Amino acid sequence: MLHELQVVAAAVSTFVERARRERALGRLRAELRACRRRVVMRLQESIGPEYVATSQSVLKLWYVSGCEVMPRETPRWWIKRRTRGTWEDLRQCDDATDDYFREKLRMSPRVFREITGACAPHLQRRVTFYREPLQPDQIVAYALYRWASGETYESGMCHFGIGRASGLVAVRDVTAALLRVFADKIAWPSGLRKLVVLRAFADKGFPNCHGCIDCTHIFVDKPANAPSENYYDRKRRFSIVAQVVVDLDLRVVDVHCGYPGSFHDIRVLQLSSLWQRAESGELFRGPPVTLTFGVRTSGYVLADNGYPPSEWMVVPYGGINQHVDDERFDNKQKVAREAVEQAFGRLKGM
């Protein structure tokens, strides 16, 4: 028993002595840092900032010797260091760059540089004391990789050397920047572009047609605290509905999305701004044209049988044992309406 008490007393004495030495060493380091700081301040006052800027390496050496840390360039011990695996590979310039970009980001380096240059002013990060901020091109690349691959945030942050919180903020910021910078990319055709679209559909046998409309499901994780049956679609997956109008060049001219996957296409249409503008006469203002099947219209879009026929929406006749003229019309309408299906395939391929 006496031996055990002696061992405990020795351990406590050792701990107390070590704590005393560490406190003394801490005070010494604090005094040394204060001394270095005073020297630097006197140096700035005596020789001016233009000469101080030329001696940054000497100041950093003093910080290392006195404070045992490097300012800004070296992160603190609680900051996770970045590996930048995929990002470093994307920055390489060699013969495989284009293929690697298309594999990881689903686009060419030229398109990536165009997007980055346009969004860079909205993605600048403030420089902090701990480490340099993420650059706009890395932020855009991570967001595009996240959308293209569909991987989890944990997997993506390992490839790009960023934290989970930084990844969440990057996706949100890039989304807002894209909507702000490229807001004019999705617009109803007008001017010369409108004439090109009308001529293309007229060559297909549909004069005064402005586009093709359809809906598709975008699979998502069910939002928190939302009823499961609202987002559970007919394919037995959680999704939201996207209503898209495209022309024959696969250009998206109108998009409306965000409603749960259980919504019908007609319900999404009635809730969209496209329906309001078309019903009020703000969308189709061209001179009336009489179609070959006897309908007079100022403009319309092509749709499938999931939509109701109206003055500005042309749908197939459908049914079985069709008349020859009805069958011919349905075939031509189906061929022209394939543009929207091709646009969906390209979108989901990216």
Report pLDDT for 78: 46
Give the amino acid at 279.
E
Q: What is the pLDDT of residues 320-344, one digit of tens each?
A: 888 888 888 889 989 999 999 999 9
Report pLDDT for 178: 92
Do 52 and 44 meet the contact criterion of CB atoms below 8 Å apart?
Answer: yes
Count the Cβ atoms, other than its own, within 10 Å of residue 334. Answer: 13
Report pLDDT for 52: 47
Report pLDDT for 311: 84
Q: What is the dihedral of CA 195, 201, 202, 207, to 10 degrees?
A: -90
Q: Rounded distance, CA 207 to CA 197, Å?
A: 10
Nearest to 139 by CA among 183, 105, 106: 105
Report pLDDT for 81: 46
Report pLDDT for 84: 55
Report pLDDT for 292: 66
Residue ranges of the chain whose pLDDT lies below 70: 1-12, 15-16, 36-37, 39-85, 92-97, 127-131, 292-294
Count the Cβ atoms, other than its own, within 10 Å of residue 308. Answer: 11
Q: Rounded distance, CA 300 to CA 211, Å?
A: 8
Residues in contact with 295: Cβ distance below 8 Å, sequence separation at least 6, in sequence order:
314
Q: Which two tokens stand for residue 171?
A: 């996706």
Count the Cβ atoms, other than its own, within 10 Å of residue 349. Answer: 8
Report pLDDT for 73: 46
Do 184 and 191 meet the contact criterion of CB atoms below 8 Å apart?
Answer: no
Q: Is the pTM value of this prediction over 0.85?
A: no
Report pLDDT for 134: 81
Strand blocks (E) in 163-237: 209-219
Backbone φ and ψ for 258, nearest 5 degrees, come out as 120, -15
Q: Which residues pair with 255 in a beta bridge?
A: 244
Q: Rounded distance, CA 49 to CA 252, Å?
A: 55
